[in-house]
Amino acid sequence: MPEVTRVVLAEDGVLLREGLVGVLSRFGFAVVAAVGDGDALLEAVAEHRPDLVITDIRMPPDHTDEGLRAAVTLRREQPGLAVVVLSQYVQEEYASALLDTGDGLRVGYLLKDRVVDVEDFVAALRTVLGGGTVVDPEVVRRLLRRPRDPLAALSAREREVLGLLAEGHSNSAIAARLFVTEAAVGKHVGNILAKLDLPPAEDTNRRVLAVLAFLRS
Amino acid sequence: MSTQQAPWNARYLLTSGPWRALLYVLTTWPLAGLAGAAVGSLILPWLAAGLRLNDGRLLDGPLLFLMVTALLMFAVLGPLVAIPLAAVERGRLGLIDQRPVRSAHRSVAPEVLTWLRVRFTEAATWREVLYAIFLGLIVPLVYGAYGLLVLIDIGAILSPIFAVSGTDQWTFGVFTVNTFAQAIPLAIGGILLIPVLFHLLGFIATGQAATARVLLGDRDGTALHEVAQSRARLADAFEAERRRIERDLHDGAQHRLTSLTLQLGMARLDVPEDSPAAAPLAQAHDEAKELMVVLRELIHGIRPQSLADLGLPAALRELAARSPLPVTITVADGVQRPAPHVEGTAYFVASEALANVVKHSAAARADLLIAETAGMLVLEVRDDGQGGADPALGTGLTGLADRVAAVGGRVLLASPAGGPTLIRAELPCRR
């Protein structure tokens, strides 16, 4: 990660865009471009080569999923580009479309509600920049409630742990939340990976793969 | 017409019926006279030709010319006369028949050529021409016969006076009246005949009105078709309005609220935890966050985003994910994306039906099926609950049916006591 993170921001609401620029500046990000629609986003990224793209999903001219389409296009062209999309409402299909780009790493799908908890939002951005995947807890909650085969094998506790994993928490953070030891969390994670048929390997991103397995199935 | 005022009712004479019939018949006279003159003058050459042929003579040039001219004038002018005549007749029908009668003419642009083309090719126009012929040929004959009866009756009633003055002698078949005494029974018979004549007048007027209703009214339901169309337009207008409200809320209020909440979140970072402002600020921030959720749910209730963006199957999957019951969704092959108002209605049906399942059925699961057959979008919601759903018990099911009827569809329900319940909505999808 470079010393100063260069950000391109796309959001059609002027007030919110200014607010986000304020938040990002305050936490040491450099907003090199702030635009209002999908096409302008693609142009700005081509011009500024940012480290991070943050985009609203619903933007002009059609007010449907312009931002998401732009994000998917960007990820296809530069699979390693960190992209966080903001959505006004939970839409699993959008989350899946985004996670299916590249290897599913360095992406984030967040509800706009999360933005207003400034510190959590910035933490999520840093997780994505650091190579992680952040999916909004609301999406994760829905997915975990949905009955499907791989999940049926998991215990309630394991689902809980997987949910927190998907939100980008570390083992120690999960242990703190669930009031258990870190070793216990490690054991749960091991069980989850085993039940999801993700054998131990050199790859350190098995945790993320576990989350993706759910989102994609 | 109320049954009391029908001429076959015993109390007919005590109602306004006879007077209405009299008024109707009297006002028919000038119209029948005009129609008779027009029709008569046009069939005159044909009558003359019939007489000639009957006499064994051949038709000559001038007569053939007149016959053809009459036929052409009839074809060209007939509708132009019959259409306004029919309009007058439909209005006049109200004198003895209160049921509204609607013109069967299609509505047409006020452009002369279009108007002529539509009118001359409409069945309604030629039924009106037929009515004009009826008015010109049959009505005068019937009225003439009736008028003769009335004259005879007046003569019979006045016969004693004629007998006294000795001016006349009456002969009815073998019955001859010469003296005052002989005229008395005749006059009494004439007076007794008055109610019969009034009833007869009622029958004549009713018969004419019935003929007018059949020939001038909207038999094919053209007007009903237009009503259905305007209902669909209304449903479309509602749908557009819902989307406008949803978009205004989303692009206006929701954005500003998010921005405000973000500002409050920023302010919290700047205010030390031990400052007196910290607690109220935190509370304001939390309330703004809750308001964001409320507003998002509200907008979702107006029209789910996923429905507009991704279509019915995706929106239904989202709906199923929100349901506390396990819901399986099956989308049959070949289902195309319907018009927005149909899509919105289908979503509403699914949403209401699932809400009912959760609230009333005590079911453990539900199945939702979408298919398309013969231009109909079919949506079925099945549960394994206790059944016994009854539209009479609440407004939920009838509201559902109303909403579906507004787009021209229908709702079918099978819910025996003990279950299971199946709701099926059929929605015509326009292509």
- What does the pLDDT look like over B147-185, one tens digit per residue? 898 988 888 888 777 777 766 666 666 667 777 777 787
Give the pairing type, strands B366-373 and B376-383.
antiparallel
Quick check: B102 contacting A, CB < 8 Å?
A: no
* CB-based contact B308 A64, cutoff 8 Å: yes
A161 shares a domain with A117: no
Quick check: A28 contacting B, CB < 8 Å?
A: no
A121 shares a domain with A80: yes
**3-state DSSP assignment of residue B367:** strand
Chain A / chain B CB contacts < 8 angstroms: 85
Looking at the domain assignment, is residue A17 inside a domain? yes
A162 shares a domain with A124: no
A74 has pLDDT over 80? yes
Length of chain B (residues): 431
Local structure of residue A9 (DSSP, 8 states): E
Distance between CA atoms of residues B339 and B346, nearest Å: 11
Q: Which of A9, A16, A93, A115 to mutate to test the interface with B (most CBs of B within 10 A)?
A: A16
What does the mean pLDDT of chain B come to?
83
* pLDDT computed for residue A204 by the predictor: 54
Residues 92-151 of A with CB under 8 A from B: 92-93, 112-113, 115-119, 142, 145-147
A179 shares a domain with A81: no
Residues 214-273 of B with CB under 8 A from A: 247, 250-251, 254-256, 258-259, 261-266, 268-269
Q: What is the count of structural domains for chain A?
A: 2
Q: Domain residues for A18?
A: 5-145
A152 has pLDDT over 70? no
* CB-based contact A22 B321, cutoff 8 Å: no
Q: Which residues contact B207 (CB under 8 A, 6 or more apart)?
A: none
Q: Which residues contact B120 (CB under 8 A, 6 or more apart)?
A: B79
**How would residue B1 be classed by pLDDT, with cut points 50, 70 and 90?**
very low
**B118-137 confidence digits (pLDDT tens):** 888 887 888 888 888 888 88
* CB-based contact B293 A113, cutoff 8 Å: yes
Residue B427 backbone phi and psi in degrees, to 5? -125, 125
Q: CA geometry: angle at B389 spanning B386 and B393, to 5°?
A: 135
Which whole number is the average pLDDT over B243-261? 87
Contact B379, B424 (CB under 8 A): yes
Looking at the domain assignment, is residue A151 inside a domain? no
Domain ranges of chain B: 12-217, 221-302, 307-428
Of B179, B180, B198, B188, nearest to B156 by C-alpha is B188
A193 shares a domain with A140: no
A101 shares a domain with A47: yes
* CB-based contact A118 B247, cutoff 8 Å: no
Q: Is the ipTM of this complex over 0.85?
A: no
Distance between CA atoms of residues A110 and A85, nearest Å: 6
Q: Which residue has the higher pLDDT, A8 or B129?
A: A8
Looking at the domain assignment, is residue A44 inside a domain? yes
Quick check: B361 contacting A, CB < 8 Å?
A: no
Among A126, A145, A164, the domain boundary falls at: A145
Which whole number is the average pLDDT over B290-318? 85
CATH code at position A118 = 3.40.50.2300
Distance between CA atoms of residues A169 and A141, nearest Å: 15
Choose the closest CB to B309 out of A64, A112, A145. Answer: A64
Residue B178 backbone phi and psi in degrees, to 5? -125, -35
Distance between CA atoms of residues B428 and B230, nearest Å: 15
Name the minimum distance, in Å, from the CA of B400 to any CA of chain A: 26
Give the pairing type, strands B376-383 and B410-414.
unpaired
Share of chain B above pLDDT 90, in %: 13
* pLDDT computed for residue A69 by the predictor: 92
B303 has pLDDT over 90? no
A121 shares a domain with A79: yes
* CB-based contact B305 A88, cutoff 8 Å: yes
* CB-based contact B258 A116, cutoff 8 Å: yes
Burial of B91 (C-beta count, 10 Å sphere; 0-12/13-18/19+) = exposed
CATH code at position A160 = 1.10.10.10
Which whole number is the average pLDDT over A43-69? 90
B188 has pLDDT over 70? yes
Which whole number is the average pLDDT over A18-31? 94
DSSP A49-116: --SEEEEESS-TTTTSSHHHHHHHHHHHHSTT-EEEEEESS--HHHHHHHHTSTTS-SEEEEEHHHHT
The pTM (predicted TM-score) of the whole model is: 0.55
**B279-296 confidence digits (pLDDT tens):** 999 999 999 999 998 998
* CATH 3.40.109.10 at B307-428, yes or no: no
* CB-based contact B262 A147, cutoff 8 Å: no
Looking at the domain assignment, is residue A205 inside a domain? yes
Contacts of A16 in chain B (CB under 8 A): 255, 258-259, 262
Looking at the domain assignment, is residue A150 inside a domain? no
**3-state DSSP assignment of residue B413:** strand
